[in-house]
Structure formats: C-alpha cells, structure tokens
Amino acid sequence: MTTTSPTVSLARTLIGFDTRNPGGDESACIEYLCHHLRDAGFTVELSAFAEGRPSLVARRGSGDRPALCFAGHVDTVPLGKAPWRTDPFGGEIEGDRLYGRGACDMKGGIAAMVIAACRVAPRLAANDDLILVIVAGEETGCLGSRHLAEHRELLGDAGAVVVGEPTGNYPLVGHKGALWLSARFRGLTAHGAMPEKGDNAVYKAATAVGRLQHFDFGMPPHPHLGGPSLNVGTFHGGLNINSVPDVAEIGIDIRTMPGLDHNDLTRMIQDCLGSEAEVSRLIDVNALWTPPEHPWVQTVFRIMPPFIGETPTPRTVAFFTDGAPLQAAYGGAPTLILGPGASTIAHRTDEFCPVSEIDAAAMIYQRIAEQWYELPASD
C-alpha cells in the first residue's frame, strides 16, 4: 500500500462516489464534503437545482471583507463504451498516477482546494472571509453554478475566484462562452407523390442553414481568445422518404467572446433563421475573461514559478467552466482557472491525475490564500 498525503487520500475517497452525469448523482459526495468542511469550522449551505443534485457553499468569516473563493464541480462524465483497465471508482495509484473517473476532472482539484482551505482557515482573522463553492451538474452546462448564481444570496461576496479545473496547475485567464441552440421548423405532411399538398419543413430548415453559414457576428476578434464561431452540428428532418416532412430541427453550437451578450446573440440568430424558427437554448455559458494585468492575477503569477518552472504568460482554454456564471454573480471578480491534471486526459478511458500535481495544487491554493489574507507562507 502506497502512503499518500491527506489531499490524495481525499481525492481517492471522492473518486469512490459515483457522480456520473448522467448516470449517477452528486448527493452522497456533496454530503461527505459538507461534513468534512463543517468539521473544519465552515458554515455550509446546500442548494439543489434538482432532486439528488445538490451544490454546496462553505463559508467562514464575518462577511466584512471580500472573500477568496475556490470553486469546482464533483460531477463527472460517464465512463464511455471502452472497457477500463483500472476500476473507475477505485482510486488506484500506480507510480505518480491516480486513476479513476474524475481523477483529473476534477476530484483531484476539489481535494486540493478543500485541504488548502482547511489548512488556512484556522489561521484567519475573524473578519477574513473564505468561500468554497462545490457544485453539481457542471458537465451538462454549469447547471449547479447557474442555479447558485440565480440564488445570489447563497454565494455571498467574493473578491477573487479560483476554479480548480485541470490545467496542469497553469493559471489560465479565460475561455470562450458556449451558446448551444436548437431551432425547429414546422410544416405540413402530405404524400410524397403530391408534395404541392404539403409544406416541407426540411426546405425551410435548409434555407435557414444556408443563411447561417454566412452569419456575421459583427465584432472583431478578441486579442487572446480569437473570434466567435458558429457550427451547425445536427440536422434532423423527415420520417420516411415518401412523405413531405412536417418537422425539421437543427442544432447550432456557437462559441462566444467576452462582451457578446447571449440574449442579443439569440435575437440575431432568430432574425437570421426567420420568424418561423422556434429557437430554444440547450447550453448557455458566458465567456470568461480576466485581464492578465489585474494586480491579483499578477500576484498569482508571481507565486507560480516554483510550481511550474516559469512565470506564467496569459493563456486561455477551449472548454467552458463554472468560472463564467460565478464571475458574473460576483460582479466581475477576477477569476483564474488553475488545477491539477491535463485537460487532454479528462473525459477519457483510464482517466488519471498525477499525484504530484494534486499535492502541488493544494500548496498553490494555500499560497494564493496566504497572499490574499497577508499571512506568512507556511508548509
């Protein structure tokens, strides 16, 4: 049996909870963390966006000063069809690798932030606020964090946010937003031999898709995130070849930039598709951006060289995170994405996280907190 740090032990325990989304639920895992954090002196509130899908907000301090907030999710993607070499819920360790579904995305990161918060909490003054936001439902569109953002009173106030998604412990300053839309077109069915008696929904959808191909966002590219993009990913219509289809539906994947309002954009897409299109939102997560010159970002960058071997430069990531709804809820608070594991290993068969990165993340989070609360660095 390998000896492991308390952080890695906690990560292994968290991997043992089946929090697949879809397929499992987060309640037992969130309950476990709730007890852990209450034992460490945090006040913990739970709020569920649906049955068995609770998120937690843990807090300590009087609420007088802007808090540092650590955030993450406990749900994982399903296991996939390919067989696993290791037990996906076993938390097996081989060499420097901790295996399991969620090891990297992101139970390693959750364990590191919980351990760091519990280490720092006893050293804080009464008016030093520290918040942990640990949510359900991230993998299907940040449902937990959006629920908390809609119940703003649960979140309290934060002056800076660290989201522990896997970045190989490199601090990232932003990501694009995602707006996934479905557009349905209706027609009238008729015998395929008499198409003039019907109203073909596929023609309507096809005409609209042709217009979408030339959709103009009307904004210049962002210097770090590039330009927005649009892809029609699905097109379904018709049941049988000898009938006029009365329904056709398309799925549109739009990746957005900071400053591109999703309500405005949805209206622009509706105008492009035409008034007959019934547009609904499937996923709606804003872009995340923190100016790299922000003093807190610069402070975190200065903490990093012993851990990553270099002073960070402003980098962004392709996937979306809970950082976007949380940053909006916290009034635009500077937000960094920083956690153990490689995003390229997330969601894969035999997912793993380097044990050394989990331990390093706990120390990085501790250093960030010590800096925020002006505490001397401690081991």
- Contact residues: Zn ion, CB under 5 A: 105-106, 165
Our CB check for Zn ion shows the closer of 107 and 367 to be: 107
List the Cα angle 354/355/356 in 5-degree steps. Answer: 90
In what side-by-side order are the strands of the sheet with 288-289? 288-289, 174-175, 316-317
Catalytic residue chosen out of the listed positions 26, 75, 129, 246:
75
Residue 57: what residue type? V
Segment (H or E) for 232: strand 229-237
> Tokens in use for 326?
């949380």
Q: Are 123 and 295 a contacting pair, CB within 8 Å?
A: no
Provide, rounded to whole angstroms, the least separation between the CB of residue 234 and Zn ion: 24
CA nearest 129: which of 372, 378, 334? 372
Shortest reach from residue 73's CB to Zn ion, in Å: 6
Is 75 catalytic? The answer is yes
- Smallest distance, Zn ion to C-beta of residue 52, A: 20
Q: Which of 25, 105, 128, 139 is catalytic?
A: 139
Residue 153 is among the residues annotated as catalytic for this protein: no
Q: Which residue is nearest to Zn ion (CB)?
A: 105
Q: Compare residues 258 and 339 and give the one whose CB is closer to Zn ion.
A: 339
3-state secondary structure of 308: helix
Nearer to Zn ion, 162 or 277 (CB): 162
Q: Which helix (H) or strand (E) holds 187?
A: none
In angstroms, give the least distance from the CB of 77 to Zn ion: 9
CB closer to Zn ion, 145 vs 200: 145
Q: How far apart are CA 4 and CA 49, in angstroms?
A: 35
DSSP string, 212-229: HTT-----PPBTTTB--E
Shortest separation between residue 19's beta carbon and Zn ion, angstroms: 12
Catalytic residue list: 75, 139
